[in-house]
Chain A
Amino acid sequence: MIKRSFFKSKYLPYLLIFPQLLVTLTFFYWPAVQGIFQSFLLSDPFGRKSKFVWFYNYIELFTDPLYLKSIFITFTFSIAVAFVSISLGLFIASMANRALKAKALVRTMLIWPYAVAPAISGIMWLFLLHPSYGIVALAIKEWLGVNWNPVLYGSDAMVMIVMASAWKQVSYNFVFFLAGMQAIPKSLIEASAIDGASPFKRFWFISFPLLSPTFFFLTVMNIIYSFFETFGIIHTVTQGGPGGSTNILVYKVYQDGFVGLNLGSSAAQSVVLMTLIIVITFLQFRFVEKKVQYSG
């Protein structure tokens, strides 16, 4: 799209778009092409010699039980994070939307975890869930009778990173749900109230369906968040352990590429991730935008 009235100039538009294109080309396209190219090569760890091996890296990857496990872990992790943070965000937002007088104050009190870096959230939860010092760990041990030890047990470690990741994301979801609820026309709510619908029914039959675009959008955003931005949490809290039980895909790319120096495999993993995110983006634009939008 372009404005009806626009400027004509021979060099200026090129000059203006040039910085953006230059950075995009050098740091997006060239690395992406390099990555794809590298994924077809097998090279020694010092990058001196390399051999073209077609799909060898990919075949290795998808027959590697560790990689398949990592895929499974990533999906479990991201679904858990999305579920916990979205349901908490929705719950708190629906409460906050009822608190007419204190709305601004409540929003201020709930918004700030957004500013906390994932890695810092990781450090705080590492302490809260520390097997010997953490207070939440203590509560889990006392009340649930679980022998809590995320350093030893993979499932405990998974719970730990889910909590650290979901906590930070609650405020993000909250902001969107609150904005979405405030955008719902008051007349709809009032009309159904006159028809005798209780507050719960009004939420379930009016607010909730009208929030479905927000809901889908947030699902996508939360999954992307837990796929990629949680790198800091994994790196500070578990480093993929114990025994690879929290080794999500992004962390594996980093470990294989930078620690293990398996360049071809790391590149192939990057390509898989790129494909995945392109598919997600595509689905979001095609499916979500069209099917779930009620308000046009």
Chain B
Amino acid sequence: MVEKTPFLDLFTYAFLMLGIFIVGFPIIYSLIAATLSLEEVSRVPMPLIPGDQFIVNMKEAWSRGDLGTQITNSFIMASGITIGKIAVSMIGAFSIVYFDYRFRVVAFASVFCTLMLPVEVRILPTYEMAANVLSPLQSLWDFLHLNSLMSWFSGNDISVTLNWCLLDSYTGLILPLVASATCTFLFRQFFLTVPEELCEAAKIDGASPMMFFRKILFPLSKTNIAALVVIEFVYGYNQYLWPLLVTTNPKMTTAVIGLQNLIPQADDLPEWNIALGAAVLVMVPSILVVLLMQRWFVKGLIEKEK
């Protein structure tokens, strides 16, 4: 760096190699395991030379875990969350930063308060909510005794049950995770740094708010959007608890959940080659997204936490 330190440099590179090796080891090891036959993988210690069973294991994992369906589900869920989150929070932030209205501060505060409340801390009530999204309305309905009121009006017995169930549906997988204060906050911070002159100029030219948003703000936010796409895609793809609760139908589960069924239990054949093959297959999409969009990813990760 500043001076020449050949010994220290050697040390640095040696430890870096070691670090990279340690970090990469579980994945490399899983990849090797995925190429071996059952007999080889259960040998102790497992051979470290890749075998020739890769295609066979992958096919087996693919059909046994129903990975085609599940990876598709994961993709739908991850893209839904990504697109939904970015769209919702971007227009939300636009409203908070570029408009003056009575409930602006209240709106911002109520969104901001949820900044760090992950779905994990409110498992059961959120699940009940997903089982019937209209339950708040139902409570209001019951509270106001509208049933008896309506019966009284019409002279017949009327009971109204409001029910909209999100369980085992894509909407249920996506919608509860779309609310995100972090994205709104990020867009707000970014919009605040956009020069005032742009908005003034747009107003002088007679642009409507939506025109300004579409023609100026949106193109300016492209890098931020790219960064968030990577982060939110990985977030959505790797979700565990929520899909576990919301889906019971195996056709609707996501890939990360489905893997659980492939882990050999104590009494099963130790088919780790298949379980790890499936694990490698499932993590490929999110790893590819991170590696291919690495520049935006690093930027987004660091910006997001500022």
Q: A residues near B, CB below 8 A? A: 1-9, 12-14, 16-17, 19-21, 23-24, 26-32, 34-35, 38, 88, 91-92, 95-96, 98-100, 102, 106-121, 123-128, 130, 132-133, 135, 138, 151, 167, 170-172, 175-176, 179, 189-190, 193, 199, 217, 221, 224, 228-229, 231-232, 235-236, 250, 253-254, 257-258, 263, 266-267, 270, 273-274, 277-278, 280-281
Contacts and interface: CB of A to CB of B under 8 A. Distances in A.
Contacts of A27: 126, 129, 175-176, 179
A267 B272 contact: no
B287 A24 contact: no
Contact of B26 (A107, A121, A171): A121
Interface residues of B, number: 104
Nearest to B262: A123
Instruction: Please classify the interface of chain A as helix (H, G, I), strand (E, B), loop, or mixed, using the class held by over half of its residues.
Output: helix
A34, A126, A167 — most chain B CB neighbours (10 Å): A34
A125 B176 contact: no
8 contacts: A26-B129, A27-B179, A34-B128, A95-B19, A111-B290, A114-B234, A120-B256, A190-B2
A190 B2 CA distance: 7
A130 to B, nearest CB: 8
B124 A263 contact: yes
B39 interface: no
Nearest to A7: B209
A6 B209 CA distance: 9
Main secondary structure of the interface of B (DSSP, over half): helix
A235 B272 CA distance: 18
Nearest to B188: A1
Given A4-B196, A23-B179, A34-B128, 10 more contacts: A16-B94, A23-B175, A115-B289, A117-B256, A119-B256, A123-B259, A133-B270, A151-B266, A170-B23, A235-B260
B9 interface: yes
A9 B117 contact: no
Given A26-B133, A123-B259, A224 B116 contact: yes
B98 A3 contact: yes
Contacts of B133: 26
Interface in B38-60: 41-42, 44-46
Contact of A28 (B24, B44, B100, B114): B114
Contacts, number: 308
Contact of B100 (A2, A35, A254): A2
B120 interface: yes
A114 B289 CA distance: 11
B110 interface: yes
B2 A189 contact: yes
B179 A228 contact: no
